[in-house]
Amino acid sequence: MDAFDTAFQRYLDEIYHCNHHTGIGISPNEAWAFGMSSHGHRLHTVIPYDAGFIAQSCPQAVRGTVKVTPQGVKINYLWFKCDEFSLPGVMDSRVPARYDPFNAGLAYAFVKGCWHAIHSEHYAILSRFTERSIKLASERLHLIARLSGAALRINAERLAAFLLQTEAQELLATQAMHDAEAAEHRAKIMPSQNAEDMPLAQTPPRPRSSTPRILEDLE
């Protein structure tokens, strides 16, 4: 992955950014220089690479929002909770939610105008696995159930128990190797402080249909 990252960055710096872009009529480097000369750095629009940004960059829950119940909120078979769910007016409401694809035991909920980290009841086990690993484990559990002719309902307890078995370790060995390599790469671009310990931004979630602006108007 490091070799790919280096080669891709070299392609961007030496080829893509320097070549004429038919969509904007100039090269990306020229577009950047034009923006700097006409509008300046606009530091007030800088988006900090903090825990709030990381939370909003994570995948959304299936419907975008989840219902807060006494058990917490359910995302991808798993229950997550945080202290903020006990605040007045939060219980039985629906809140925007996102989950960390690199930490199956961590997700985020937007409560009272702020993103909050929420943790699975089996965080100690699930935090060692990624979304991809959980998917592979779930598929194996469904296969075992079909072969035995038994009905099986996937939940956090069954997943956690299976992940501790030797069969799961053998099944996920290759995926674990890929995840470890990806984790090392993310560590190079993540803030030095643990994202879970950083304050979360009080930024409302963007609508699902929103389209981010890529380039400033050159007119």
**What is the token pair recorded at 215?**
């380039």
User: Phi/psi at 27 (nearest 5 deg)?
Assistant: -80, 155
Q: In the prediction, which pLDDT does 140 show?
A: 80
Q: In the prediction, which pLDDT does 188 show?
A: 67
The verdict on 84 and 69 lying in the same domain is: yes
**What is the token pair recorded at 151?**
């009905």
Q: Of the candidates 25, 45, 65, which is a domain's last residue?
A: 45
Q: In the prediction, which pLDDT does 200 show?
A: 58
The verdict on 125 and 169 lying in the same domain is: yes
Q: In the prediction, which pLDDT does 209 show?
A: 45
The verdict on 74 and 179 lying in the same domain is: yes
DSSP per-residue string spanning the chain: -HHHHHHHHHHIIIIITTS--TTTSS-HHHHHHHHHHHH---GGG----SHHHHHHHSPEEEEEEEE-BTTBEEETTEEEE-GGGGSTTTTT-EEEEEE-TT-TTEEEEEETTEEEEEEETTHHHHTTS-HHHHHHHHHHHHHHHHHHT------HHHHHHHHTSHHHHHHTHHHHHHHHHHHHHHHHHS-SS-GGGSPPP--PPPPTT-----S----
Rounded Cα gap, residues 194 and 127, in angstroms:
14
Could you tell me if residue 208 is inside a domain?
A: no
Rounded Cα gap, residues 84 and 90, in angstroms:
8
Q: Report the domain count for the chain.
A: 2
Q: In the prediction, which pLDDT does 42 show?
A: 84
Could you tell me if residue 212 is inside a domain?
A: no
Q: In the prediction, which pLDDT does 166 show?
A: 67
The verdict on 170 and 185 lying in the same domain is: yes
The verdict on 10 and 84 lying in the same domain is: no
The verdict on 60 and 70 lying in the same domain is: yes
The verdict on 39 and 64 lying in the same domain is: no
The verdict on 51 and 108 lying in the same domain is: yes
The verdict on 59 and 36 lying in the same domain is: no
The verdict on 65 and 77 lying in the same domain is: yes
Q: Look up the domain containing 106 and give its range.
A: 47-202
Rounded Cα gap, residues 204 and 202, in angstroms:
7
**What is the token pair recorded at 115?**
């993103």
Q: What is the pLDDT along the chain (219 residues), one digit of tens a residue?
A: 677 878 888 999 999 999 999 989 999 999 989 988 888 888 888 888 777 888 889 999 988 999 999 999 999 888 999 999 999 999 999 999 999 998 989 999 999 988 999 999 889 888 888 888 888 877 887 777 777 777 667 777 777 777 777 666 777 777 767 667 677 666 766 654 445 544 454 555 555 544 333 333 333
Rounded Cα gap, residues 180 and 153, in angstroms:
29
